[in-house]
């Protein structure tokens, strides 16, 4: 079924940093490709049997000057958001294999 604007109570609202995301997708980390569109936030699921329940995620923020400007986040097992930052890239190098990443974005 296609999108039906008549059923969308938020259709007339402008997107903002605090507004609900309009899109969500599962990410595959990449050392070469930026997200399209950039994510307004990222959620992470770490299974308890992956890396002893403690995982790492390496990101480049949307406003970073270059690709070398990365930040590594650590996360315990379970589903959790990363700190609020717009994300340009999630790196495969530096990101623990076996985690599931969810990117939230606007159109």
Instruction: Answer whether 21's CB lies under 8 Å from 105's CB.
Output: yes
Give the pLDDT confidence score for residue 1 in this predicted structure: 83
Domains (range + CATH), the chain:
21-105 (2.60.120)
Q: What angle do CA 43, 47, 53 make, to 5 degrees?
A: 100
Give the pLDDT confidence score for residue 96 in this predicted structure: 96
> What distance in Å separates the CA atoms of residue 105 and residue 36, rounded to the nearest whole number?
9
3-state secondary structure labels for all residues of 6-69: HHCCCCCCCCCCCCCCCEEEEECCCCCCCCCCCECEEEEEECCCCHHHEEEEEEEECCCCCCCC
Give the pLDDT confidence score for residue 27 in this predicted structure: 95
Give the pLDDT confidence score for residue 65 in this predicted structure: 94
Span 26-42, average pLDDT: 95
pTM over 0.95: no
Instruction: Answer whether 71's CB lies under 8 Å from 88's CB.
Output: no
What would the pLDDT profile of 36-74 be if each residue is shown by its tens digit? 999 999 999 999 999 888 999 999 999 999 999 999 999
In the predicted structure, residue 82 carries a pLDDT above the cut 90 = yes
Give the pLDDT confidence score for residue 88 in this predicted structure: 96
């Amino acid at each position: 079924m296609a999108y039906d604007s008549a059923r969308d109570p938020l259709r007339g609202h402008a997107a903002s940093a605090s507004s609900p995301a309009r899109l969500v997708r599962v990410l595959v980390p990449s050392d070469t490709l930026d997200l399209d569109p950039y994510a307004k936030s990222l959620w992470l699921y770490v299974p308890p049997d992956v890396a002893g329940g403690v995982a790492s995620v390496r990101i480049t923020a949307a406003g970073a000057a270059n690709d070398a400007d990365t930040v590594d986040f650590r996360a315990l097992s379970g589903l959790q958001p990363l700190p609020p930052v717009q994300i340009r890239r999630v790196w495969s190098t530096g990101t623990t294999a076996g985690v599931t990443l969810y990117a939230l974005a606007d159109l």
